[in-house]
Chains A and B, each alone.
Chain A
Amino acid sequence: MPRLRDRTQGTDTSRNAAIIGGIKSDTAGLERDRAGIGEIARLGLAGVSNSIVEVANSTLLPAIDTFSKSINKSLPKIIADLDRIVPLASVGGPLDQAFVGLGKLSQNLKLSLESLAFKAFNTTTITAIANGTNVLANKFNDIVTMATQGAAGLIGDDKKKQKDLFDGISAGVYKAVKEYFTNQPSVDGNFYGGAIGLGQTSVVGESRPGGRGELITAGTDMNVVNNENSQSIVGTLKGVADKMASMNAEQRMDPDAMNAMKQLPGLVMQLTDVVRSTSRDNSDALNNLSYNI
């Protein structure tokens, strides 16, 4: 019988069950232990208090438990069960096989979806958004610089300089929006439910893009809400740029036009936030999808 004191247990934890099994196999001995510990613990009821009574008190319940498991052969039963379950690669009932099959299917599906999502978000959409926002950011930097110059009196009442200023701003913003946000970059035409991307309009209750006849439902479909948000933000950005492009220099000094321009930095920040949350929501949606299948 292997024991701790003999150091027969090595690196293999499978020997541990043998050691515990060896102890539990001596049912008669454990019964004697239990009785002896009970006798000492009983002294505590008579008011005796010393270190050995304390040890007996702390050992009695585990000893009772150990004996009851020994006499009922709990450990051999458990090991027999596990031995039956664990090497089940080729045996087991249909239910067992189905359970394992479903587990594997779910895992493979999760991995496939995560891989697909990873590929999807590694393509042109992210690049376009990053480039677009960079260009916009640069333009805003220009705006700040030029506005600072204007405030310092460099532009002043010079109509030509004012015109150049607003032409430059509107051209830059319009170029950035048109070039990077109007091509409707799509991440993957084969993505579940069809292509997804900033240019896609997805509305709850409508047919899923891709023409498969499935309805979009809130909370379960990827990108639905966020695509709407991003679509709305891009639309506003385009509207602002279009409005500025259509106006002459004087009109651009109009308070409405100025207000529209003020929205741009906030809109870009919102767009960035939408992209970030879209990525997170996709991950959640993928997980939910895999759990629900």
Chain B
Amino acid sequence: MSKFGGRTLAGSVSFSNSLRSLRNPTNGFSTSLLRMGMDFEQQGVAMADYMGQLASAGLEIDKLDPSSVAKGMFELTRQQKIMAQLNGTTLEQERQKQKAASQNISLQAALLKLAPEQRLSTSRLISSFKDLGGPAAEKFANELLAFDGSVATAQRAQFEMLAPTLAKGI
């Protein structure tokens, strides 16, 4: 909440607008999240968390359309739900992974070259590669993103040799 001034009047208004948009019955986001096992209280917490991540990515929360924030939060949660089911974890554990990724300096350095809007989804994607191929896959993805594949590091060569299918897919 502190990242977008959520405890100030203006920040609270932005937060409540986005939450209201999430609960708008016409888009069905909130109901769908409920069906995914996330109750209303958890939805509020996740929304605050998501808005904090957007702020960290460099976006001005006050200027964002609440409906796009709601849609983004829903999509991100859906992806986390997919990964939770795929990894045999919980939604909360996947959210914690996302938080941990925000503290990964290599990843954050690589993400800085992207537009703010792209950083969050790309960060989520790169974290998923760790589940697919371990830390080496995550590092490979980081390097790929940071240098557009133009820098051939020893680690990159090793990973491409060991796991060509994974490397090709990334």
A148 vs B164: C-alpha distance in the bound complex, in angstroms?
90
Residues of B close to A26: CB separation below 8 A: 165, 169
How many residues on the B side are at the interface (Cβ–Cβ under 8 A)? 54
A19 within 8 A of B: yes
Contact residue among B117, B128, B162, B170 (Cβ-Cβ distance under 8 Å from A59) = B162
B76 near A88: Cβ-Cβ < 8 Å: no
Residue from the list B31, B121, B122, B133 in contact with A89, Cβ < 8 A: B31
B158 neighbours in A (Cβ, 8 Å): 51-52, 55
Complex Cα distance A82/B135, Å? 28
B40-A103 in contact (CB<8A): yes
> Is chain A's interface secondary structure helix, strand, loop, or mixed overall?
helix
CB-CB contacts of A1-42 with B at 8 A, as 1s and 0s?
A: 101110001111111110110111010011011001100100
Q: Which of A73-81, A190-198, A199-207, A212-220 sits within the interface?
A: A73-81
Q: A11-B117, A89-B28, A103-B34 are in contact. Are A5 and B131 (CB under 8 A)?
A: no
B141 closest partner in A (C-beta): A4
A225 to chain B, nearest CB (A): 27
Q: How far is the CA of A85 from the CA of B81 in the complex (A)?
A: 12
Which residues from chain A contact B81 at a C-beta distance below 8 Å?
Answer: 82
Q: How far is the CB of A42 from chain B (nearest CB, A)?
A: 13
Q: Do residues A4 and B145 form an inter-chain contact, with CB atoms below 8 A?
A: yes
The CA-CA distance from A54 to B141 in the complex, in Å, is 18
| B105 interface hit (Cβ, 8 Å) | no
Q: Is the interface of B mostly helix, strand, loop or mixed?
A: helix
Q: Check A143 for interface membership: any CB of B closer than 8 A.
A: no
Q: Who on chain B is nearest to A85 by CB? A: B35
Interface residues of A (CB under 8 A from B): 1, 3-5, 9-17, 19-20, 22-24, 26, 29-30, 32-33, 36-37, 40, 51-52, 55-56, 58-59, 61-63, 65-66, 69, 74-75, 78-79, 81-82, 85-89, 92, 96, 99-100, 103-104, 107
Chain B: residues with CB nearer than 8 A to chain A? 28, 31-32, 34-36, 39-40, 72, 75-76, 78-79, 81-82, 85-86, 115, 117-118, 120-122, 124-126, 128-137, 141, 144-145, 148-149, 154-155, 158-159, 161-166, 168-170
Query: Can you offer 16 A-B residue contacts whose CB atoms are under 8 A?
Result: A11-B115, A13-B76, A13-B125, A23-B165, A30-B165, A33-B162, A56-B162, A59-B134, A59-B159, A59-B162, A63-B166, A78-B86, A82-B82, A88-B35, A99-B34, A103-B39
